[in-house]
Chain A
Amino acid sequence: MPDNEIILEIKNLSKVYDKEVLKIEQLSFRRGRIYGIIGPSGAGKSTFLRLVNLLEPPTTGDIYFKGEAMSMNGRAGTPVRREMTMVFQKPLLFKTSVSENVAYGLKARRFSKEEIKARVETLLEKVGLKELAGRYAGTLSGGEAQRVALARAVAFEPAFLLLDEPTANLDPSNVELIERLILDLNRDKGMTIIMVTHNIFQARRIAQEVIFLHEGRIVEMGDTEKIFSFPEDPRTRDFVEGRMIY
C-alpha cells in the first residue's frame, strides 16, 4: 500500500444514546500518519474511537478500512480487529504475568513460541520493564500498567493504533517514555495512529494532523501547526488557547 493512501474512511457516521453524541459526515485517515483528536469533555472523542474499533455499532453510517466496509458481526469483525487495536485510558491487564499480558495478542494470532518470546523481550526492553517480565500484572503502578498495555497492543504490529488518553494521570517520565514510543512506532513501523487526548500540548507535540471535536461534530481539522497557530473557527481558537473550560 503506497504512502498517503487512505486507510480508514468514515461516511455519515452517527451515534445516538439518549441524544446524538456524534455526527461525522466525512472523514478519512491516511496511512502512516499520527492524528490527534482533541476537544472538551463530552465532545464524542472516546465514542469515536469505540466505533472505529468495532466495540459499538454506529447508529447510522459506515466505516471503511482499506476500502472495505467494516462489520461488528461475529467473525466478520475479527480480521479487521487483527489489523487494528486500541489502548484504553485505564487499561485492563489480565490476571497473569507481565510477559503473558504482552504475549496475548500474539497467542491469539498463533505466533510461534520462539517468535512470541523474542517479541515480548524486545518490547519489554523498549518500555523499560524487562526486569518485571515475571511479575504479576496486578501489582504494577499506573505508569507501568499503561506501558505494559501499550507493549501488548503493538506486539503484533497492527497497521492501525487507537489510543484513548494514553498518558492521562501519569507522571512526566512515563508520559515522555510513552510519547517517544508512539513516535518510534510511527517512524519505524509506519503505524497509523489516532490519539484522543484532552492535552493540547501533547497533541501539538505528537500529532501531524489534528481534528477538533465539539459537541459531537468536527469543528476544524488539518495540519497541527495550522490548527494551533491559525485556527479559523472561534471555538477552536478558544480551545487551543485554553479559554474553553473542559
Chain B
Amino acid sequence: MALLPLLKGIAEAFHLIFTLDPYLVKIVLLSLQVSGMAVLLGTLAGVPLGAYLGLKPAESTHFISKLLYTLMGLPPVVAGLVFYLLFSRMGPLGVLGLLYTPAAMIIAQFALALPIIAALTMIGIRGRGKEVQETARTLGAGRLFTAWTVMRESRFVIFGAVVTGLGRIIAEVGAVMIVGGNIEGRTRVMTTAIVLETGKGNFELAVGLGLVLLIISFVINSLLYSFQGGGRDSA
C-alpha cells in the first residue's frame, strides 16, 4: 500500500505540530523570518517601483516591463547560483562573509520577490491608477497626498502582489539551498528540511513540514480573500 506511509506521515505530522516539536518550530520560525524579511524588503522596493511604472505611459516602459516579466519566471536555482557566485569567498562580495547565512537567503529571496511584486503592482495600477492620479490632482491634492491616494485605491492589487511574492519565495527551495547550505539550526528552512528529511526516509517530519507550509499558505490566502471582500471588490 503506497498510501500507508503518507497516512502514517500525516498522523505523525499532526502529532509534531500539536506537540510543538522544537526542531519543527525552529525551522518554521526561521522560514517565516527569512521569507518575511525578504517580502518586506521586496514590498518596500517593489511597490513604489511598480506604482511608478504603472503611472507611466505603457509605451515608455516596454523594456523594463519585459525585464520584470522575465525575472518573474527566474528559476530559484539560477538566483541561488548568481548569489552564490557573488557571495563565495572568491566572489566580488565575498569579503562580506554572507554565504551560508540567513542574510544571504533573504537577499536571494528578495531578488525573487521583487519582480513579482513590482510587475503585479504595475499591472494593477496601470488599469486605474492614472485615472485616480488625475482625479486626486484635480481635487487639489499635492504630490504626497496623490501618491497615498493611488496606493490606497490600489490596495487590493498591492496586497495581492505581496501575497503572491510571499507564496513564491516561501515555497522555493533552490535559492535558499544554494546560498544557505541547509545548515541545521542556522539556515535550515521548511523547504530545504523537506528535501533532506525525504532523502533520509523521515517522512513524518517531511509531511509535517509540508502541512505547515500548506497551512501558512491557506492562512495568507484566506486573509487576501477576506481583505478583498470575499472576492466582491478586487479591482
Using a CB–CB distance below 8 Å, which chain A residues touch chain B? 53-55, 74-75, 77-78, 81-82, 85-86, 88, 91-92, 94-95, 104-105, 107-109, 138, 152-153, 156
Contact = CB atoms under 8 A, between A and B. Distances in A.
Contacts of B152: 94-95
B139 A92 contact: no
B142 A153 contact: no
B21 interface: no
Nearest to A88: B135
B138 A92 contact: no
B233 A152 contact: no
Given A55-B134, A95-B153, A74 B141 contact: no
Given A105-B139, A108-B140, A108-B141, A92 B131 contact: yes
Contact of B135 (A75, A92, A107, A156): A92
A94 B137 contact: no
B89 interface: no
B135 A109 contact: no
B149 interface: yes
A173 to B, nearest CB: 25
Nearest to B140: A82
Given A55-B138, A81-B140, 20 more contacts: A54-B137, A55-B134, A78-B142, A85-B138, A85-B140, A86-B138, A88-B135, A94-B152, A94-B153, A95-B233, A104-B139, A105-B139, A105-B140, A108-B136, A108-B139, A108-B142, A108-B145, A109-B140, A152-B139, A156-B140
A86 B134 CA distance: 10
A81 B137 contact: yes
Contacts of B132: 92, 94
Nearest to B149: A94
B143 interface: yes
A180 B142 CA distance: 31
Contacts of B145: 107-108
Interface in B215-234: 233
A107 B149 CA distance: 12
12 contacts: A77-B137, A78-B142, A85-B138, A91-B135, A92-B128, A92-B131, A94-B153, A105-B139, A105-B141, A108-B142, A108-B145, A153-B139
B124 to A, nearest CB: 13
Contact of A55 (B137, B139, B233): B137
Interface residues of B, number: 18
Interface in B16-46: none
Contacts of B137: 54-55, 77, 81
Contacts of A91: 135
Contacts of A86: 138
Q: What 10 pairs across the A-B complex have the smallest Cβ distances?
A: A105-B139, A82-B140, A108-B141, A86-B138, A92-B135, A92-B131, A108-B140, A81-B140, A78-B142, A85-B138
B188 to A, nearest CB: 43
Contacts of B131: 92
Nearest to A109: B140
A78 B134 contact: no
B82 to A, nearest CB: 38
A227 to B, nearest CB: 28
A77 B137 CA distance: 9
A109 B135 CA distance: 15
Contacts of B134: 55
B139 A75 contact: no
A105 B149 CA distance: 12
Contacts of B135: 88, 91-92, 94
Given A92-B132, A108-B145, A81 B233 contact: no
A94 B151 CA distance: 12
B57 to A, nearest CB: 12
A161 B142 CA distance: 19
B175 to A, nearest CB: 36
